[in-house]
């Protein structure tokens, strides 16, 4: 049930969506394809499903060469961002669709649909039309529909992207629990690093049509392969030529070995954490985040003299381009 992707390339006109991508997706795990919009991750997922054809390379699903197989022969379940509910069919008929196509006996279909509706908590909605469901319910229906055919792999394309924050959080937890029950090899596409870190066993970071890094959430967070992965997975700030997480910086009121001197130029409280902007003697603006207790213990004020250093054993990356004046990445805002 593993998926082997080797040397896959795809162009849309002049645009290179995927550039010689090779990934191996392990069997029975929940894998996230993570990356910015337009990076090629959805294209890769659609190529796995057969909804798009690779220009070059090879796709193997469960040991079978699927490169030239049409989607209906691949036995994959696909869940779309905008649900793709069959609007003219009831919830039951939606879920039963794949089984009806496979001409299974009526009582078997009924039994299986009942099971699946129970699994996605939609038992009492079977006779409704998709238009009468909420977004979260529609996506659960779509998931049940994809699972009905007992796919070898389940593919989800930004499955929670169209839902509001609260429902997204609920469905994310629910998907994790569902996967623990069902164990089908699952690949989902997301641009939300928190979603990937929270739900996935394995993360494949894709950017500009290339794989940046593959590994477990811990691997990626603690040992980012490059600047891009470091920046994409969470807030970063820059001290000298090192990229570091703002919470991995220590602030001291006195000089210590290997500290950099500076002044606290701005102090902002964001919920449970305090964000301190420090301008170093070289004029670099560095963001440090502290907990409330750490902050109170230090007794910092605006314009106080401070000394910074990176906490030992923290993940850091050297910056390739040093001309960047601002130290915070755009993902800082998104992740808080």
Partner 1 sequence: MADRSTLARTPIGRRPGRYVLRLVVTAYLFFLVAWPLYLVGRNTFADGFASLADVLTDPDVVHALRLTVVIAVTAVVINTVFGVGISLLLVRYHFPGKRALNVLLDMPLSVSPIVVGLALVLVYGGRDGWFGPTLEAAGLQIIFAVPGMVLATVFVALPLVIREVVPVLQELGDEQEQAARSLGANALQTFRRITLPSIKWGVIYGVVLSLARSLGEFGAVKVVSGNVLGETRTSTLVVEEKYLNFDKAGAYATAFLLALVAVACIIVVSVLRPKEER
Residues that bind partner 1 (CB under 8 A): 49-51, 70-72, 74-78, 80, 82, 84-88, 97-98, 101-102, 142, 145-146, 148-149
Least distance in angstroms from the C-beta of 140 to partner 1: 15
Strand partners, 15: 12
Q: How far is the CB of 175 from partner 1 (least distance, A)?
A: 18
How far, in Å, CA of 142 to CA of 95, rounded? 7
**Residue 314: exposed, middle, or buried by beta-carbon count in 10 A (0-12, 13-18, 19+)?**
middle
Q: How far apart are the first and last CA of the chain?
A: 37
Which residue, 149 or 298, has its beta carbon nearer to partner 1?
149
Tokens matching residue 210: 């290339």
Contact 65, 58 (CB under 8 A): yes
Q: Which is nearer to partner 1, 69 or 267 (CB)?
A: 69
Residue closer to partner 1 (CB basis): 154 or 286: 154
Minimum Å distance from CB 49 to partner 1?
A: 6
Strands 242-244 and 76-79: unpaired
Residue 244: CB minimum distance to partner 1, A: 42
Q: How far is the CB of 266 from partner 1 (least distance, A)?
A: 39
Residue 251 CA: distances (Å) to CA of 211, 217, 260, 277: 36, 28, 10, 11
CB of 93 to partner 1, least distance (A): 10
Identify which of residues 49 and 211 has a Cβ nearer to partner 1 in the complex.
49
Of 20, 17, 22, 100, nearest in space to 56 by CA: 20
Rank residues 122 and 143 by Cβ distance to partner 1 and give the closer one: 143
Our CA dihedral for 144, 146, 150, 152, rounded to 10 degrees, sits at -140
Closest distance between partner 1 and the C-beta of residue 168, in Å?
A: 20
* Sheet arrangement for strand 285-291: 249-252, 305-310, 260-270, 273-280, 285-291
**What is the closest distance, in whole angstroms, from the C-beta atom of residue 256 to partner 1 in the complex?**
58
Residue 26 DSSP label? P
In the complex with partner 1, the residue whose CB is nearer, 161 or 215, is: 161
- Residue 271's SS3 state is coil
Nearer to partner 1, 102 or 266 (CB): 102
Q: Which spans in the chain are helix H?
A: 41-49, 91-101, 106-119, 135-148, 165-182, 193-199, 217-222, 227-233, 292-298, 331-335
Cβ proximity of 35 and 206 under 8 Å: yes
Least distance in angstroms from the C-beta of 77 to partner 1: 7
Integer Cα distance of 69 and 76 in angstroms: 12
3-state helix, strand, coil in the chain (%, to 5): 35, 30, 35
Is the CB of 45 or the CB of 211 nearer to partner 1? 45
Residue 150 or residue 241: which is nearer to partner 1 going by CB? 150
């Amino acid at each position: 049930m593993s998926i082997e992707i080797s040397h896959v390339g795809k162009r849309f006109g002049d645009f290179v969506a995927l550039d010689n991508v090779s990934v191996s997706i392990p069997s029975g795990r929940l894998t996230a394809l993570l990356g910015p919009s337009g990076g090629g991750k959805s294209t890769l997922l659609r190529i796995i499903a057969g909804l798009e054809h690779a220009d070059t390379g090879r796709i193997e699903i469960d040991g079978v060469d699927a490169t030239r197989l049409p989607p209906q022969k691949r036995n994959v379940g696909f869940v779309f961002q905008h649900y793709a509910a069959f609007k003219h069919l009831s919830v039951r008929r939606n879920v039963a669709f794949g089984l009806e196509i496979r001409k299974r006996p009526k009582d078997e279909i009924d039994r299986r649909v009942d099971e699946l509706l129970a699994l996605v908590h939609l038992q009492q909605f079977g006779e409704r039309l998709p238009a009468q469901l909420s977004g979260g319910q529609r996506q659960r229906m779509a998931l049940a529909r994809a699972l009905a055919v007992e796919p070898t792999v389940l593919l989800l394309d930004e499955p929670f992207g169209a839902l509001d924050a609260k429902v997204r959080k609920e469905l994310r937890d629910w998907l994790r629990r569902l996967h623990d029950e069902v164990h089908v090899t699952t690949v989902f596409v997301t641009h939300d690093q928190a979603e990937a870190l929270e739900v996935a066993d394995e993360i494949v970071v894709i950017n500009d049509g290339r794989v940046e890094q593959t590994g477990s959430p811990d691997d990626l967070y603690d040992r980012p392969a490059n600047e891009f992965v470091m920046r994409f997975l969470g807030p970063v700030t820059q001290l000298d030529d090192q990229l570091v997480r703002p919470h991995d910086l220590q602030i001291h009121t006195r000089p210590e070995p290997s500290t950099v001197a500076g002044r606290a130029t701005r102090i902002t409280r964001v919920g449970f954490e305090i964000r301190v902007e420090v301008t170093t003697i070289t004029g670099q603006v560095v963001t440090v985040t502290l907990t409330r207790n750490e902050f109170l213990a230090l007794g910092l004020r605006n314009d106080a003299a401070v000394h910074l250093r990176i906490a030992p054993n923290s993940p850091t990356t050297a910056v390739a381009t040093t001309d960047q004046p601002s130290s915070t990445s755009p993902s800082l805002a998104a992740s808080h």
